[in-house]
Amino acid sequence: MTNEKPYRPNVGIALFNAGGRVLIGHRFKGDGPEIILPGLDWQMPQGGVDEGENLRDAAMRELWEETSVVSADYLGETDWFTYEFPPYDGPQTHRLAKFRGQRQKWFALRFTGRDDEIDPLTPRNGQPAEFDAWRWERLDRVADLVVPFRRDVYRAVAREFAVFGN
C-alpha cells in the first residue's frame, strides 16, 4: 500500500542569478512517468541524498550533476517539505514504485558564474542528463510550469525564498 512506503530523502536547489531569476531545466521528453502532462516538464534541479551525506553537500552535488554549475554561494534553506508521487504501475525498480513520495529540503544559492558554465546535457558522475534545455525564470512563476504533484512545494519554496528574487 502506498502509505506504507517511505519518503525518498531529497534536496532541491533554487539557483538565483544576479537578476533574481532562478534556473529551471526542461526534462527530456519521455523521461519517465513523472512527466504526466504536456507543457509541465520544467523544474528546478533536485535529487536524492546519499546515505550519510551532508544535505548542503548533496545540494551542491545535485546542482553540479544536473547543470555543471559549481559557482554558487549559499543563501538559505527551508525546513522539510513532502509531496506524494502519482499512482505508478510501471517497473518496480523505478523510484516511483519504491517510495511514497519525496521529503525535500530546499536550498537557495546565488549563481556567481557565467551562463556558459551551465551545461545540462553532459552526463556527470555516472548520472544521465535529465534536462535538454534550461532558462532563467521568476521563482513565483515556476509552480505553473511543473507537474501538478510538485506545485504545492514549489509555491512554498517561492514564498520562503521570495526575498532572494525580484
The pLDDT of residue 96 is 73
Q: Which residue has the higher pLDDT, 112 or 97?
A: 112
All 3 cell numbers of residue 14?
Answer: 533554487
pLDDT score at 1: 47
Average pLDDT for residues 96-125, to the nearest whole number?
A: 94
| Residue pLDDT, tens place only, 46-81 | 999 999 999 999 999 999 999 999 999 999 999 999
Quickly state the pLDDT bin for 166 (edges 50, 70, 90). Answer: low
Given this model, what pLDDT does residue 90 score? 76
Its pTM stands at 0.92
As a whole number, the mean pLDDT across the chain is 91
Res 34: pLDDT: 62
Determine the average pLDDT of the residues in 124-149: 93
Rounded percentage of the chain residues whose pLDDT exceeds 90: 71
